[in-house]
Structure 1
Amino acid sequence: MNPIDMASFNAEEKEHVVDWNTTALVVIDLQKWIGNGYAPYSAGQVIANSAKLADRFRDQGAFVALVHVSSKDFKDMLHPKLDTAPPALNLVEGWDEFVPEIGRTETDHIVAKKQWGAFHGTDLDLQLRRRNIDTIVLCGIASGIGVDTTAREAFQHGYNIIFAIDAMTGFTQPEHEHVRNVIFPRIGRIRTTEEILA
Protein backbone atom coordinates (compact mmCIF):
# COMPACT_ATOMS: atom_id res chain seq x y z
CA MET A 1 0.00 0.00 0.00
CA ASN A 2 1.25 3.48 -0.72
CA PRO A 3 1.13 6.06 2.11
CA ILE A 4 -2.17 7.52 0.92
CA ASP A 5 -3.86 4.12 0.89
CA MET A 6 -2.42 3.29 4.31
CA ALA A 7 -3.75 6.54 5.76
CA SER A 8 -7.13 5.79 4.31
CA PHE A 9 -7.00 2.22 5.62
CA ASN A 10 -6.19 3.40 9.15
CA ALA A 11 -8.72 6.22 9.20
CA GLU A 12 -11.48 5.65 11.71
CA GLU A 13 -14.74 6.52 10.03
CA LYS A 14 -18.05 6.60 11.82
CA GLU A 15 -20.52 4.02 10.63
CA HIS A 16 -23.50 5.43 8.77
CA VAL A 17 -26.21 3.38 10.46
CA VAL A 18 -29.44 4.99 9.26
CA ASP A 19 -30.66 6.04 5.82
CA TRP A 20 -33.70 8.13 6.76
CA ASN A 21 -35.40 7.39 3.42
CA THR A 22 -35.33 3.60 3.78
CA THR A 23 -35.24 3.03 7.54
CA ALA A 24 -38.19 2.91 9.93
CA LEU A 25 -38.33 2.98 13.70
CA VAL A 26 -40.60 0.32 15.24
CA VAL A 27 -41.34 0.86 18.93
CA ILE A 28 -42.72 -2.18 20.76
CA ASP A 29 -45.31 -2.01 23.57
CA LEU A 30 -44.33 1.20 25.36
CA GLN A 31 -47.80 1.53 26.80
CA LYS A 32 -49.28 2.32 30.17
CA TRP A 33 -49.37 -1.27 31.40
CA ILE A 34 -45.58 -1.16 31.85
CA GLY A 35 -44.63 -1.88 35.44
CA ASN A 36 -41.27 -2.20 37.17
CA GLY A 37 -38.70 -4.93 37.56
CA TYR A 38 -37.00 -5.02 34.15
CA ALA A 39 -33.32 -5.77 33.48
CA PRO A 40 -30.70 -4.78 32.53
CA TYR A 41 -32.32 -1.39 31.81
CA SER A 42 -35.18 0.19 33.70
CA ALA A 43 -38.44 1.02 31.95
CA GLY A 44 -37.52 4.68 32.38
CA GLN A 45 -34.21 4.25 30.55
CA VAL A 46 -35.89 2.36 27.70
CA ILE A 47 -38.62 4.97 27.35
CA ALA A 48 -36.10 7.84 27.39
CA ASN A 49 -33.88 6.27 24.72
CA SER A 50 -36.86 5.24 22.60
CA ALA A 51 -38.20 8.79 22.79
CA LYS A 52 -34.82 10.13 21.59
CA LEU A 53 -34.96 7.79 18.62
CA ALA A 54 -38.59 8.67 17.83
CA ASP A 55 -37.88 12.40 17.99
CA ARG A 56 -34.94 12.12 15.60
CA PHE A 57 -36.81 9.91 13.15
CA ARG A 58 -39.72 12.34 13.12
CA ASP A 59 -37.39 15.33 12.68
CA GLN A 60 -35.88 13.60 9.65
CA GLY A 61 -39.29 12.82 8.16
CA ALA A 62 -38.66 9.09 8.61
CA PHE A 63 -41.33 6.47 9.29
CA VAL A 64 -42.20 5.79 12.94
CA ALA A 65 -44.46 2.87 13.88
CA LEU A 66 -45.75 2.71 17.44
CA VAL A 67 -46.89 -0.82 18.30
CA HIS A 68 -49.15 -1.70 21.20
CA VAL A 69 -51.29 -4.55 22.45
CA SER A 70 -54.94 -3.57 22.45
CA SER A 71 -58.27 -5.37 22.84
CA LYS A 72 -61.84 -4.47 23.76
CA ASP A 73 -62.89 -7.76 25.29
CA PHE A 74 -59.79 -10.05 25.07
CA LYS A 75 -61.74 -12.56 22.98
CA ASP A 76 -59.43 -11.77 20.06
CA MET A 77 -56.29 -12.55 22.07
CA LEU A 78 -54.35 -15.82 22.17
CA HIS A 79 -55.40 -18.30 24.87
CA PRO A 80 -53.00 -21.25 24.58
CA LYS A 81 -52.67 -24.04 27.12
CA LEU A 82 -49.46 -23.46 29.07
CA ASP A 83 -47.33 -25.26 31.64
CA THR A 84 -46.72 -21.96 33.44
CA ALA A 85 -49.38 -19.30 33.83
CA PRO A 86 -48.40 -15.98 32.24
CA PRO A 87 -47.83 -13.04 34.58
CA ALA A 88 -50.89 -11.01 35.49
CA LEU A 89 -51.48 -8.05 33.20
CA ASN A 90 -51.22 -4.57 34.66
CA LEU A 91 -54.59 -3.43 33.34
CA VAL A 92 -54.66 0.06 34.79
CA GLU A 93 -57.04 2.58 33.28
CA GLY A 94 -55.82 3.34 29.76
CA TRP A 95 -53.50 0.29 29.86
CA ASP A 96 -53.25 0.12 26.06
CA GLU A 97 -52.42 3.82 25.56
CA PHE A 98 -48.85 4.79 24.73
CA VAL A 99 -46.72 6.27 27.50
CA PRO A 100 -46.80 10.06 27.14
CA GLU A 101 -43.00 10.31 27.00
CA ILE A 102 -42.96 8.72 23.55
CA GLY A 103 -44.75 11.82 22.25
CA ARG A 104 -47.18 10.22 19.83
CA THR A 105 -47.81 12.47 16.81
CA GLU A 106 -50.23 12.49 13.89
CA THR A 107 -47.47 11.27 11.56
CA ASP A 108 -46.82 8.10 13.56
CA HIS A 109 -48.28 4.88 12.20
CA ILE A 110 -50.15 2.97 14.93
CA VAL A 111 -50.08 -0.82 14.97
CA ALA A 112 -52.51 -2.64 17.28
CA LYS A 113 -51.52 -6.27 17.77
CA LYS A 114 -53.09 -9.24 19.49
CA GLN A 115 -49.97 -11.36 19.97
CA TRP A 116 -46.26 -10.97 20.65
CA GLY A 117 -45.13 -10.01 17.14
CA ALA A 118 -46.01 -6.79 15.30
CA PHE A 119 -46.34 -8.31 11.81
CA HIS A 120 -48.91 -11.11 12.06
CA GLY A 121 -52.45 -9.87 11.45
CA THR A 122 -51.41 -6.21 11.05
CA ASP A 123 -50.62 -3.88 8.14
CA LEU A 124 -47.02 -3.20 9.25
CA ASP A 125 -45.37 -5.08 6.38
CA LEU A 126 -47.68 -3.43 3.83
CA GLN A 127 -46.97 0.06 5.14
CA LEU A 128 -43.19 -0.51 5.16
CA ARG A 129 -43.13 -1.92 1.62
CA ARG A 130 -45.27 0.91 0.22
CA ARG A 131 -42.64 3.32 1.50
CA ASN A 132 -39.73 1.28 0.08
CA ILE A 133 -38.37 0.71 3.56
CA ASP A 134 -35.84 -2.12 3.80
CA THR A 135 -34.44 -1.57 7.31
CA ILE A 136 -36.06 -1.28 10.71
CA VAL A 137 -34.66 -0.07 14.02
CA LEU A 138 -36.30 -1.98 16.87
CA CYS A 139 -36.76 -0.89 20.47
CA GLY A 140 -39.20 -1.42 23.32
CA ILE A 141 -40.28 -3.95 25.93
CA ALA A 142 -39.63 -6.80 26.29
CA SER A 143 -36.43 -7.92 24.61
CA GLY A 144 -37.24 -11.62 24.67
CA ILE A 145 -40.93 -11.37 23.81
CA GLY A 146 -42.33 -8.54 21.68
CA VAL A 147 -38.98 -7.31 20.36
CA ASP A 148 -37.58 -10.77 19.66
CA THR A 149 -40.76 -12.06 17.99
CA THR A 150 -41.08 -8.93 15.83
CA ALA A 151 -37.40 -9.22 14.89
CA ARG A 152 -37.80 -12.83 13.77
CA GLU A 153 -40.85 -11.89 11.71
CA ALA A 154 -38.98 -8.96 10.14
CA PHE A 155 -36.03 -11.22 9.33
CA GLN A 156 -38.32 -13.74 7.63
CA HIS A 157 -39.88 -10.89 5.63
CA GLY A 158 -36.42 -9.90 4.37
CA TYR A 159 -35.84 -6.69 6.35
CA ASN A 160 -32.49 -5.52 7.67
CA ILE A 161 -32.73 -5.12 11.44
CA ILE A 162 -30.89 -2.78 13.81
CA PHE A 163 -31.40 -3.47 17.51
CA ALA A 164 -31.28 -0.34 19.69
CA ILE A 165 -29.94 -2.45 22.52
CA ASP A 166 -30.13 0.18 25.29
CA ALA A 167 -33.65 1.16 24.22
CA MET A 168 -35.01 -2.28 25.10
CA THR A 169 -35.00 -4.47 28.18
CA GLY A 170 -36.15 -7.85 29.41
CA PHE A 171 -38.30 -9.12 32.23
CA THR A 172 -35.04 -10.64 33.51
CA GLN A 173 -31.38 -10.06 32.69
CA PRO A 174 -30.86 -13.68 31.48
CA GLU A 175 -33.78 -13.26 29.06
CA HIS A 176 -32.28 -10.06 27.63
CA GLU A 177 -28.76 -11.48 27.49
CA HIS A 178 -29.91 -14.65 25.71
CA VAL A 179 -31.50 -12.82 22.77
CA ARG A 180 -28.76 -10.18 22.75
CA ASN A 181 -25.94 -12.74 22.63
CA VAL A 182 -27.53 -15.66 20.76
CA ILE A 183 -30.42 -14.51 18.56
CA PHE A 184 -29.94 -10.86 17.60
CA PRO A 185 -26.41 -11.20 16.11
CA ARG A 186 -27.73 -13.90 13.75
CA ILE A 187 -30.53 -11.75 12.30
CA GLY A 188 -29.33 -8.16 12.54
CA ARG A 189 -26.95 -5.55 13.92
CA ILE A 190 -26.74 -4.44 17.54
CA ARG A 191 -26.11 -0.76 18.21
CA THR A 192 -26.64 1.70 21.05
CA THR A 193 -29.04 4.61 20.81
CA GLU A 194 -26.13 7.03 20.44
CA GLU A 195 -24.50 4.94 17.70
CA ILE A 196 -27.77 4.97 15.75
CA LEU A 197 -28.20 8.72 16.18
CA ALA A 198 -24.56 9.67 15.55
Structure 2
Amino acid sequence: MQNHHNKTALLVMDVQNGIVSRFAENEKVLLPFQKAVEAARRHNIPVIFVRVAFREGYPEISPRNKSFSAIAGLGGMTVSDASTQIHESVQPRPDEPIVTKLRFSAFAGSDLEVILRSRQIDTLILSGIATSGVVLSTLREAADKDFALTVLSDACLDHDPEVHRVLMEKVFPRQAEVLTVDDWIGTLD
Protein backbone atom coordinates (compact mmCIF):
# COMPACT_ATOMS: atom_id res chain seq x y z
CA MET A 1 0.00 0.00 0.00
CA GLN A 2 2.84 2.41 0.79
CA ASN A 3 4.12 1.89 -2.73
CA HIS A 4 0.75 3.00 -4.11
CA HIS A 5 0.88 6.22 -2.08
CA ASN A 6 4.23 7.03 -3.69
CA LYS A 7 2.48 7.23 -7.06
CA THR A 8 -0.31 9.46 -5.72
CA ALA A 9 -0.41 13.25 -5.34
CA LEU A 10 -2.92 15.59 -3.76
CA LEU A 11 -3.68 18.65 -5.89
CA VAL A 12 -4.87 21.71 -3.94
CA MET A 13 -6.14 23.96 -6.71
CA ASP A 14 -6.91 27.68 -6.66
CA VAL A 15 -6.99 27.87 -2.87
CA GLN A 16 -5.43 31.31 -3.19
CA ASN A 17 -6.28 34.56 -1.47
CA GLY A 18 -8.26 36.21 -4.28
CA ILE A 19 -10.41 33.13 -4.87
CA VAL A 20 -10.88 32.07 -1.25
CA SER A 21 -12.12 35.59 -0.45
CA ARG A 22 -14.92 35.18 -3.03
CA PHE A 23 -15.96 31.63 -2.10
CA ALA A 24 -15.31 31.19 1.59
CA GLU A 25 -17.52 33.59 3.54
CA ASN A 26 -16.80 31.38 6.54
CA GLU A 27 -13.30 29.95 6.94
CA LYS A 28 -14.81 26.70 8.30
CA VAL A 29 -15.39 25.67 4.68
CA LEU A 30 -11.59 25.44 4.37
CA LEU A 31 -11.31 22.79 7.11
CA PRO A 32 -11.69 19.84 4.68
CA PHE A 33 -8.83 21.26 2.59
CA GLN A 34 -6.64 21.53 5.70
CA LYS A 35 -7.57 18.00 6.78
CA ALA A 36 -6.71 16.59 3.33
CA VAL A 37 -3.33 18.36 3.26
CA GLU A 38 -2.48 17.14 6.77
CA ALA A 39 -3.47 13.55 5.90
CA ALA A 40 -1.45 13.58 2.69
CA ARG A 41 1.61 14.84 4.56
CA ARG A 42 1.18 12.19 7.29
CA HIS A 43 1.06 9.46 4.64
CA ASN A 44 3.96 10.86 2.58
CA ILE A 45 1.68 11.69 -0.34
CA PRO A 46 3.09 14.67 -2.26
CA VAL A 47 0.99 17.84 -2.04
CA ILE A 48 1.07 20.08 -5.11
CA PHE A 49 -0.51 23.51 -5.00
CA VAL A 50 -1.95 25.04 -8.15
CA ARG A 51 -2.78 28.71 -8.61
CA VAL A 52 -3.88 30.92 -11.46
CA ALA A 53 -1.70 33.99 -12.08
CA PHE A 54 -0.53 36.12 -14.98
CA ARG A 55 2.43 38.29 -15.95
CA GLU A 56 2.22 42.06 -15.66
CA GLY A 57 0.42 43.38 -18.73
CA TYR A 58 -1.47 40.07 -19.17
CA PRO A 59 0.22 38.87 -22.39
CA GLU A 60 -1.38 35.43 -21.83
CA ILE A 61 -4.95 36.75 -21.96
CA SER A 62 -6.75 37.06 -25.27
CA PRO A 63 -9.55 39.63 -25.53
CA ARG A 64 -11.61 36.78 -27.05
CA ASN A 65 -11.41 34.79 -23.81
CA LYS A 66 -14.66 35.72 -22.07
CA SER A 67 -13.63 34.47 -18.62
CA PHE A 68 -10.10 35.77 -18.39
CA SER A 69 -10.33 39.02 -20.37
CA ALA A 70 -12.33 40.48 -17.47
CA ILE A 71 -9.30 39.92 -15.21
CA ALA A 72 -7.08 41.90 -17.58
CA GLY A 73 -9.59 44.73 -17.51
CA LEU A 74 -9.87 44.81 -13.72
CA GLY A 75 -6.20 44.32 -12.88
CA GLY A 76 -4.67 42.17 -10.17
CA MET A 77 -4.12 38.41 -10.35
CA THR A 78 -0.49 38.88 -11.39
CA VAL A 79 2.21 36.47 -10.21
CA SER A 80 3.34 38.79 -7.40
CA ASP A 81 -0.12 40.04 -6.41
CA ALA A 82 -1.41 39.07 -2.94
CA SER A 83 -4.54 37.60 -4.56
CA THR A 84 -2.53 34.85 -6.26
CA GLN A 85 -0.66 33.66 -3.18
CA ILE A 86 -1.71 30.37 -1.59
CA HIS A 87 -4.12 30.95 1.30
CA GLU A 88 -2.52 30.72 4.74
CA SER A 89 -4.95 27.98 5.84
CA VAL A 90 -3.09 25.49 3.62
CA GLN A 91 0.34 27.11 3.53
CA PRO A 92 2.75 25.09 1.38
CA ARG A 93 5.94 23.70 2.86
CA PRO A 94 9.19 24.72 1.14
CA ASP A 95 9.45 21.31 -0.59
CA GLU A 96 5.89 21.40 -1.95
CA PRO A 97 5.64 22.79 -5.49
CA ILE A 98 3.38 25.69 -6.40
CA VAL A 99 2.31 25.36 -10.01
CA THR A 100 1.10 28.45 -11.86
CA LYS A 101 -1.51 27.87 -14.54
CA LEU A 102 -2.98 30.23 -17.12
CA ARG A 103 -6.50 28.86 -17.65
CA PHE A 104 -9.05 26.73 -15.78
CA SER A 105 -7.29 23.36 -16.04
CA ALA A 106 -4.30 22.85 -13.76
CA PHE A 107 -2.43 21.58 -16.83
CA ALA A 108 -3.06 24.66 -19.01
CA GLY A 109 0.13 26.64 -19.46
CA SER A 110 1.76 25.04 -16.40
CA ASP A 111 4.55 22.58 -15.68
CA LEU A 112 2.24 20.28 -13.69
CA GLU A 113 2.55 17.36 -16.09
CA VAL A 114 6.36 17.56 -16.02
CA ILE A 115 6.33 17.47 -12.19
CA LEU A 116 3.92 14.51 -12.16
CA ARG A 117 5.96 12.57 -14.74
CA SER A 118 9.24 13.24 -12.94
CA ARG A 119 7.74 11.79 -9.74
CA GLN A 120 6.05 8.92 -11.63
CA ILE A 121 2.66 10.00 -10.28
CA ASP A 122 -0.26 8.10 -11.84
CA THR A 123 -3.03 8.88 -9.34
CA LEU A 124 -4.40 12.32 -8.52
CA ILE A 125 -6.55 13.37 -5.58
CA LEU A 126 -8.37 16.56 -6.58
CA SER A 127 -9.50 19.42 -4.35
CA GLY A 128 -10.15 23.01 -5.33
CA ILE A 129 -12.19 26.12 -5.87
CA ALA A 130 -14.37 26.07 -7.94
CA THR A 131 -15.93 22.70 -8.62
CA SER A 132 -17.30 23.93 -11.97
CA GLY A 133 -13.99 25.57 -12.90
CA VAL A 134 -10.57 24.19 -12.01
CA VAL A 135 -11.86 20.87 -10.64
CA LEU A 136 -14.02 20.05 -13.67
CA SER A 137 -11.41 21.16 -16.21
CA THR A 138 -8.54 19.39 -14.47
CA LEU A 139 -10.54 16.19 -13.99
CA ARG A 140 -11.45 16.05 -17.68
CA GLU A 141 -7.89 16.67 -18.85
CA ALA A 142 -6.34 14.32 -16.28
CA ALA A 143 -8.77 11.56 -17.29
CA ASP A 144 -7.76 12.07 -20.93
CA LYS A 145 -4.13 11.71 -19.79
CA ASP A 146 -5.00 8.36 -18.12
CA PHE A 147 -4.51 9.38 -14.49
CA ALA A 148 -6.49 7.49 -11.87
CA LEU A 149 -8.63 10.10 -10.13
CA THR A 150 -10.36 10.78 -6.84
CA VAL A 151 -12.30 13.95 -6.13
CA LEU A 152 -12.69 15.07 -2.52
CA SER A 153 -16.30 16.25 -2.55
CA ASP A 154 -16.12 18.35 0.62
CA ALA A 155 -12.75 19.85 -0.35
CA CYS A 156 -14.31 21.47 -3.40
CA LEU A 157 -16.39 24.64 -3.38
CA ASP A 158 -18.68 26.24 -5.92
CA HIS A 159 -20.93 29.31 -5.89
CA ASP A 160 -23.83 27.18 -7.12
CA PRO A 161 -24.67 24.27 -4.76
CA GLU A 162 -26.79 22.57 -7.43
CA VAL A 163 -23.97 22.62 -9.98
CA HIS A 164 -21.63 21.21 -7.30
CA ARG A 165 -24.13 18.43 -6.52
CA VAL A 166 -24.70 17.48 -10.16
CA LEU A 167 -20.97 17.36 -10.86
CA MET A 168 -20.25 15.26 -7.77
CA GLU A 169 -23.19 12.88 -8.18
CA LYS A 170 -23.64 12.56 -11.94
CA VAL A 171 -20.63 13.83 -13.90
CA PHE A 172 -17.46 13.13 -11.92
CA PRO A 173 -18.26 9.46 -11.05
CA ARG A 174 -17.92 8.63 -14.75
CA GLN A 175 -14.20 9.41 -14.59
CA ALA A 176 -13.25 9.48 -10.91
CA GLU A 177 -13.99 8.10 -7.52
CA VAL A 178 -15.83 10.73 -5.45
CA LEU A 179 -15.16 10.60 -1.71
CA THR A 180 -15.38 12.88 1.29
CA VAL A 181 -12.07 13.79 2.89
CA ASP A 182 -12.83 11.47 5.84
CA ASP A 183 -13.67 8.56 3.53
CA TRP A 184 -10.45 9.15 1.56
CA ILE A 185 -8.40 9.26 4.76
CA GLY A 186 -10.01 5.95 5.73
CA THR A 187 -8.53 4.37 2.58
CA LEU A 188 -5.01 5.45 3.56
CA ASP A 189 -4.66 3.40 6.73
Length-normalised TM-score, structure 2: 0.83
Question: Take 2:105 and 2:146, find their aligned partners in 1: how far apart are those partners?
Answer: 15
Structure number with higher relative contact order (C-alpha < 8 Å, ≥ 6 residues apart): 1
Q: Number of paired residues?
A: 178
Give the structure 2 partner of residue 3 of structure 1. none
Q: How does 1:43-192 map to 2 (within 5 A)?
A: 44-73=27-56, 74-80=58-64, 82=66, 91=76, 94-192=82-180
Cα distance in 2 between the residues matched to 1:94 and 1:173? 28
Aligned partners of 1:58 and 1:64 also within 8 Å: yes
Structure 1 length-normalised TM? 0.79
- Say which SS state the counterpart of residue 11 (structure 2) adopts: strand
Give the Å deviation of 1:115: 0.4
The AA in structure 1 aligned to 2:11 is V
| Partner Cα distance (2:155, 2:55) in 1 | 29
Identity of aligned residues (%): 25
- Return the alpha-carbon distance in structure 2 between the equivalents of residues 97 and 152 of structure 1: 25
Spell out structure 1 runs of 4+ moving beyond 4 A: 85-93
Instruction: Give the structure with higher Rg (CA).
Output: 1
**1:107 to partner: Cα distance:** 1.6
The AA in structure 2 aligned to 1:70 is A
What are the ranges of 5 or more consecutive residues in structure 2 without an aligned counterpart? none
Q: Answer yes or no: is 1:35 the counterpart of 2:18.
A: no
RMSD: 2.7
Structure 1 unaligned runs (5+)? Answer: 1-15
One-letter code aligned to 1:67:
V
Amino acid at match of 2:21: G
